[in-house]
Amino acid sequence: MNTILIKLFATALTLSQVTTKPDAVRTRFDPAVDGPQVVQILRDGCAHMRKAFDIEDINLDELISTAMEDPSAVAGPAAPKILHGLDIGELNTSYKQFCKGENPKTSPFDAREVIEFYNKATTDLPTAEALRDKALPGMTRILDASGKPFAETFEPNGRRLVVPIGDVPQLVRQAFIAAEDKRFESHHGIDERGVIRAFIGNLAAPGRPAGGSTITQQVVKNLSVGDDVTYERKIREMIVASRLERILGKPQILGLYLNGIYLGRGAYGIEMAARSYFGKSVGELTLPEAALLAGMPKGPNFYSPDKYPERARERRAYVLARLKEEGAITEAEMAAAVASDLGLKPIETARRDSGFYVVDHLTREARTFAGLDSLTASSFTVRSTINAGLQRAVEGALQDGLANYERGTGRQTFSGPEFNLADSVRKLGAATPAPEAAPQSLPGVTGAEAKPEAAKAAVGRPARGKPVAAAAPAEKPVWLRALESARPVLYDVRWPLAVVLETGRNGVKVGLGDGRVALLDPGIARGRLQPYDVVRVKLRDGKGLRAEIRVKPSVQGAALVLENRTGRILAMAGGFSYPASQLNRVTQAVRQPGSTLKPLTYLAALNAGLQPNTLVMDAPVTLPPIGGVGDAWSPKNYEGGGSGPTTLRRGLEFSKNLVTARLLQGGIADKAPASLKRVCDIALEAQIYAACEPYYPFVLGAQPVRMIDLAGFYAAVANEGARTAPYALEGIERDGRTVYAHAAREPVRIGSADRVAFYQLKTMLQGVTNHGTAAALARVSQFVAGKTGTSENENDAWFAGFTNEVTVVVWVGYDNADGTRKTLGRGQTGGHVSVPIASAIFQAAWANGVAKTPLAPPSPEARQMLVDLSIDPRSGQRVSGGGFTEHFRKAADGRMADTQYKLLPRENAYAMRPDAEDGDLSGLEDGADVAGDAYGNRAPDADLLDPFGDRRPAMRSRRAQGDLDGGSRLWPGQTARSPFGDDDARPRRRDPDYLFGDDPRY
C-alpha cells in the first residue's frame, strides 16, 4: 500500500472517530481481527464529512477529476512534502470505496498496514487531564531593592506572564477567535469543515500545507504533542483535543491558548505580548492593538510589525474585517482602526548583562524559604534586596581586578577571540546593494574601502588584512549591524566588545558598539587577530581613541556586599562570568580564609581580659599535641623569625602568625587546647562553621569557610556583636497575592564575647586599614575597618572589611575542582590582590546610595565599660601627652585593667627588645624621619628604636656610630649569634601582607 495513503487513512480513521463517536475513541486496534471494524468507521466518517462538503459547497468529485487530469499539481515538485508520492488514482479509488459505497476489485486499501501505523502513532498518548492541570511556565520579574525591574527569569520558550482568562477583555477574545477559529464556540475540538478546507486546499493549491487546526488543537500542539509536521502528530493532536473539550470549558481552553501562544518579540502569551509591543497590560489594549496581536499567531515572523509593517497592517485589516463580519464592531470602528498607526513601543534591545549569580541565589532562597521548586513554574513577582547600580559595579570591579592581577603577574593568556563575525558580515553584505559606480583604487578592494572616509562601512571578505566594503555610506556599517545582532559568549562581562577591522602595518583597528573606530593595543594577542574577530577591550583616554585588549582570566574570584544591620545582600558576584562558570563562590564553595579568621582569636583574647596594648612575644613557639595525640605545632611567620615584643593591636594590624598562636598559650585560657575551644565556640556561635576542626592551625584560617558566613561575622563586629542572617529574598507575589514575605528579625547577639571586646576589635581592624596590611585603604580608613588574608602558598587572597553600614568581602584564587591547588604566586597576598578590588567596591557603594559615615564610637553599653588613654603605639606604654588614644576595658574598680605585661613580664620585655632589621622596625636607620606617625600624634622626640623610652644613651651612641657588626641589628647584650639559636644572623624578612615598601613607619 502506498505510504502516503497509509498515513492518510490512519488520519481519516482518527477524524472519523472524533467526529462520529467522540466519547468512544479507540487508540488500539488488532491488525488481525479489527479490519472490518476499521472499514466501517472510515465509511461512517466519510458520510459525516460529506455533510461538511455540502456546507462548504465543495465538489470533491470534480476536484479529484481535475487532479487526475494534471497529477503534477499534487505529486509534482511543487507539491507540499506531506503529499509527495501520492498516487491520485489510488486516492480516487479509495474515495469511491469509502465515500460512494463502491467495491472496487483492485482496492489499494490494506487495513493491517493502516492499523499498525495508527497504533504506533497513538503509543504513549498524552492525557487531556495533564493539560487541564497544566501550570504554564512563566516569566518571573525580579525587582531590586527600590522596586524597579532588575531581572527576568524564565524557561526556554517560556517568557510569559500568565493572565486569568477573566482579565482578558471580550473584544480581545473575539479578535483571536475571528482570526484563528471562527467556529470555536460551536465545535467539539475538531472543526471537520476546517479540516476539509485545509485538505482540499492542499490538493488544489500546493505550497505550504494548511493544517485546519482549531484553537483547541493548537493548545494541544503547543503544550502537549509538539509541533512536528507529521501525520503522527496530527493523529495525536486530534484525539487529545477531542478529549480536552470534554473536561474543560471553552473559556478555560481559550485561556490556555492565549497564555501559551508565541507572538513575536520573544513574548509568549497575550499579556507579555501586550507589554512588549505596546507597554501596557492586556486589559488596556485598544481595538487596533488587539487586532494586530490577533493576527500574529499565523506567522509571528512573517507578520512581524517590526520587520514587515505593511504585512502586519494587511493582517490587522483582515482581523478587523472578520470582527465586523461577526458583528463585534461597526463599520466605522473598523475603518478607524484600519487607518490607525501601528502604535508600537520601541523594541527593548538591551539584554540583561548583570545579576545572573543573584538570580540563581534567589531561586535557591525561594525553594528554601517559600517552598517553590522553581521561579519559572509560574509568573511571580520577586522583591529582592539587591542594589542594582552597586551590583553592576561589583561585577565590574571584580572583573577588572582579576584581569589586572593576571596582567601584572604575566599570567595572562590569549586562547582566541570571543567569536568571529565573518559569516554574519558576509551574509549581511550580500543582502546590501553596493554603491553605484564605486571606484576601484586597489586590486580586490571596492566601494567604501577605496575611500578612507568610508572605511568604517567596510564589509565582505578580508583583503590585504582588511574587510571589503559594500555598504552604502548612509547605512550603518555591516560589521556594526552584525555586532548588534550577535549574542556575546560572555554576556555579563563589563568590557565593551570590539570588532577587528584592520590588522595591517598601520596597527590593529577595531570598531566599537557605538560605531567609533579605535586603535587597539593587542598585547598578548599581537599577530593572532583576524578580520572580524570580536574581542573585549578597555578604552583609554589620550590622543585619539585607543583601546587595550582584555581577555578572560583563568583566575577566579568572588565578592559580596552585605548590609550590617539587616543582613540584606546588596550585591553578589559569584565568579568572573556566569556563562563561563555557574558556580557561585559566595555561597557554594569553601576556601581557606587565612588571616581573615585571626580576628576570632583576638576577640577571644579581648573577651578574656587582654587589652589592645598587651605585649605578646612575636617569636617562635611550639604548642603541645592536643590530648597528647598527634604532633606538636610550631607555626612560623611568613618567612620565619619574629619581631620580639609586640602589642596585641600591632600583632593583628600586621598579621603576625606567631602572635596569634601565642595567644593560645595563656592569653585566652590557661592551656592551649582550652583556648582553642573558646575560639571555636565563638566561630560556632557566629555561624562561621557548623563544626570546628580541633587542630591549632584553625586559628590561622586553615579550615575552609564560605564567604557568606565569613561576611556575617564581620558584619557582627561592625554591630558590636549582633549578627544578622544574610538574605536576598524580600518577598514573592503571584497574581497580586503574597506567597512569601521575609520576616524581619532582630540581630542575634554573639554571647561568647561582650560589646567591649567587639568594639576593641573593631578599632584594631581599623588600624589594619590605616597602616597595617590593608594600608591601601588608608585614605578612607576613618570609614573602613577590615582584615586581609592569605592562605598557605598564596592559594587564596582575601579581604573582609566593613563600614558602619555594609560589609564587603572579596576572594581571589584558582578553582580547585580537579583536586589540585594552584598558587597565585609569591607575594600575591590579600593586601596586594583583594584590597584594590574591595576599595573599588566601597567607592561604588558610596556612589550608589550607601551612606559614608565615620566608624561609630562605642555604644552606650560599651562606653560605660571603656576608658580612653594615650599610649605609645609601639610599646603600648602610657604617655602623658600626644600618643595614640587607645580604648581600654575597665576593671571592677572602674579603672583601666592593666594587662600590658600579663603575657610578657616587664623584665623579659626589656631583655627581648626588637632589633631594627626585624619586622616593623626595618628601614628606620640611617637618619630616617621618625618625627610623625600614621596616628598623627607621636611625640617629636620619640625614638622608634627605643620603644620603651629607657634605652641607654651609650647604646644609641653606638648605633649612631654605626659600629654594629656587619650592619646587622642586635638586641642589647647580644652577639652576632641569633637570639633564637641560629648560627647565622636572621635574613631580612617580609610579612606576606606587608604594604609599606621598605619604610613601615606609622
Q: Which residue numbers are catalytic?
A: 180, 595
| Dist CA 147 CA 165 (whole Å) | 27
Q: What angle do CA 305, 309, 310 make, to 5 degrees?
A: 140
683, 692 contact by CB (below 8 A): yes
| Dist CA 686 CA 684 (whole Å) | 5
Q: Tell me whether strands 644-647 and 722-723 are parallel, antiparallel or unpaired.
A: unpaired
596, 789 contact by CB (below 8 A): yes
Q: In residues, how long is the chain?
A: 1002
| Dist CA 958 CA 316 (whole Å) | 101
Bridge partners, 887 (sequence order): 868
DSSP string, 407-437: HHHT-------SEE-HHHHHHHHHTSPPPTT
Which region, left, alpha or beta, applies to residue 446 given φ > 0 means left and ψ of -120 to 50 means alpha?
beta
Percentages helix, strand, coil for the chain (3-state, rounded to 5) are 40, 15, 50
Bridge partners, 569 (sequence order): 562
C-beta neighbour count of 405 within 10 angstroms: 24
- How many Å is the Cα radius of gyration of the chain? 39
SS (H, E, C) 56-73: HCCCHHHHHHHHHHCCHH
| Phi and psi, residue 557, nearest 5° | -165, 175
Q: Tell me whether strands 748-749 and 546-550 are parallel, antiparallel or unpaired.
A: unpaired
Q: At what angle do helices 3-20 and 35-56 cross, to 10 degrees?
A: 80
Q: Which residues, 6+ apart, have CB-to-CB distance to 981 below 8 Å?
A: none
Give the three-class secondary structure for 35.
Answer: helix
| Dist CA 815 CA 484 (whole Å) | 33
Residue 249 grid coordinates = 470549558
591, 854 contact by CB (below 8 A): no
| Dist CA 212 CA 192 (whole Å) | 9
447, 454 contact by CB (below 8 A): yes
Give the three-class secondary structure for 809.
Answer: strand
